[in-house]
């Protein structure tokens, strides 16, 4: 690929690099940053990583995670090259970094989101790739760059996270082949990585999940299921909106459920919605009715209504979508 070649040439011809990613970084974001970091370090480059948000606890097993610095630390660093990974848009690295982290030579944007903007001087955007980690793997592979153990662990974590542990439809034979190669290069046990990422759930979150499941309701035919999380539930369990991650998938997993809806009461009394579909209903279309967006099987929107009205409006809409299939 031409864009691979241009970016590899930048690696050769420049000495100082900064790396960043989106706010609230996930496994793919952090794994991709650290994989680039380890390879550039090995090439003898001056390289630093700056993120708006801290590394979540569950990713604090990744090799060299401590190297990730906060946004303010970037003020006296003027890199030749800025590498932005998995971000969708320049804004998503956070306002401070967008304003202050300016490379003297070029910005490189590496991403796999279908909505990714071409904000870089160089853009490697591959929407068919499962993850940014997969793109970085292919970038290294194309130049015969050695993927050492640290790099392999980071890329595997990105791949695993963005494919939902190889459960989503973005996971195919190629994703599995890459995963197998990474396991061989990295000499690690995949189950150990799984445990780090998914089995460090806080007790508070489990209590919130318990309360959330108590609110479960279904349409009489069992095809639409929804749960509700109120501000009172957050307060009582000492949790925040971040802890809701993954709940809607549990509802989607119920037998016969075609559309799963998770409604969250916002501090201002309005509602934030996550939607999942097993495939028959396009929940991106459903979300679009409320100015939201996403993918066919996973989407979200905000509805400026209290949760009771938001739920009835959404369920009615979902019923219409199921009828038109
Ligand atoms: Mn990603």
Does residue 219 share a domain with residue 186?
no
Residues with a beta carbon under 5 angstroms from ion ligand 1: 28, 86, 131-132, 162
The DSSP string of 73-85 is GGTT---SEEEEE
Does residue 261 share a domain with residue 126?
no
30 CA from centroid of ligand 1 (Å): 10
pLDDT tens readout for residues 37-72: 999 999 999 999 999 999 999 999 999 999 999 999
Does residue 189 share a domain with residue 80?
yes
113 CA from centroid of ligand 1 (Å): 7
222 CA from centroid of ligand 1 (Å): 32
pLDDT tens readout for residues 221-273: 999 999 999 999 999 999 999 899 999 999 999 999 999 999 999 999 999 99
Does residue 170 share a domain with residue 283?
no
Does residue 313 share a domain with residue 231?
yes
Q: Which of 57, 12, 1, 71 lies closest to 39 in space, CA to CA?
A: 12
The number of residues making up the chain comes to: 325
32 CA from centroid of ligand 1 (Å): 9
Segments forming the whole domain that contains residue 290: 205-323
Q: What average pLDDT is seen over the chain?
A: 95
238 CA from centroid of ligand 1 (Å): 29
The tokens 């009172």 sit on which residue? 232
Domain end call among 183, 198, 213: 198
Does residue 238 share a domain with residue 189?
no
Domain end call among 166, 198, 230: 198
138 CA from centroid of ligand 1 (Å): 15
Domain end call among 144, 172, 198: 198
Does residue 182 share a domain with residue 308?
no
The DSSP string of 298-315 is EEEEEESS-HHHHHHHHH
Residues in Cβ contact with 144 at an 8 Å cutoff, skipping those fewer than 6 apart: none
Question: What stretches of 143-230 show up as alpha helix (H) in DSSP?
Answer: 149-162, 173-186, 190-198, 203-213
Q: Which of 84, 86, 82 lies closest to 116 in space, CA to CA?
A: 86
């Amino acid at each position: 690929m031409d864009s691979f070649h241009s970016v590899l040439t930048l690696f050769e011809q420049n000495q100082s690099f900064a790396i960043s990613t989106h706010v609230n970084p996930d496994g793919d974001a952090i794994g991709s940053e650290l994989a680039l970091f380890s390879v550039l370090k090995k090439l003898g480059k001056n390289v630093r990583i700056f993120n708006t948000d801290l590394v979540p606890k569950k990713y604090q097993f990744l090799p060299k995670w401590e190297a990730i610095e906060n946004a303010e630390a970037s003020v006296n660093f003027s890199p030749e090259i800025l590498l932005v990974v998995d971000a969708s848009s320049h804004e998503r690295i956070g306002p401070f970094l967008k304003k202050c982290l300016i490379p003297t030579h070029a910005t490189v944007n590496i991403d796999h989101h279908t909505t990714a903007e071409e904000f870089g001087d160089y853009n490697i955007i591959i929407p068919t790739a499962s993850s940014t980690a997969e793109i970085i793997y292919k970038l290294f592979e194309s130049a015969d760059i050695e993927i050492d153990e640290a790099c392999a662990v980071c890329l595997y974590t990105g791949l695993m996270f963005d494919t939902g542990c190889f459960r989503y439809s973005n996971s195919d034979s190629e994703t599995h082949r890459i995963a197998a190669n990474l396991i061989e290069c990295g000499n690690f046990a995949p189950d150990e990585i799984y445990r780090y990422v998914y089995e460090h759930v806080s007790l508070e979150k489990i209590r919130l999940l318990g309360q959330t499941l108590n609110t479960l309701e279904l349409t009489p035919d069992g095809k639409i299921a929804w749960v509700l999380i109120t501000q009172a539930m957050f307060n009582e369990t000492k949790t925040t909106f971040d802890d809701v991650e993954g709940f809607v998938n549990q509802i989607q997993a119920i037998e016969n459920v075609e559309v799963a809806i998770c409604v969250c009461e916002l501090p201002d009394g309005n509602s934030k919605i996550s939607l999942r579909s097993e495939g028959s209903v396009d929940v991106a279309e459903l979300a679009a009715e409320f100015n939201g967006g996403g993918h066919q099987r996973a989407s979200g929107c905000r509805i400026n209504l209290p949760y009771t009205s938001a739920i009835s409006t959404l369920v009615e809409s979902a019923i219409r979508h199921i009828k038109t299939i």
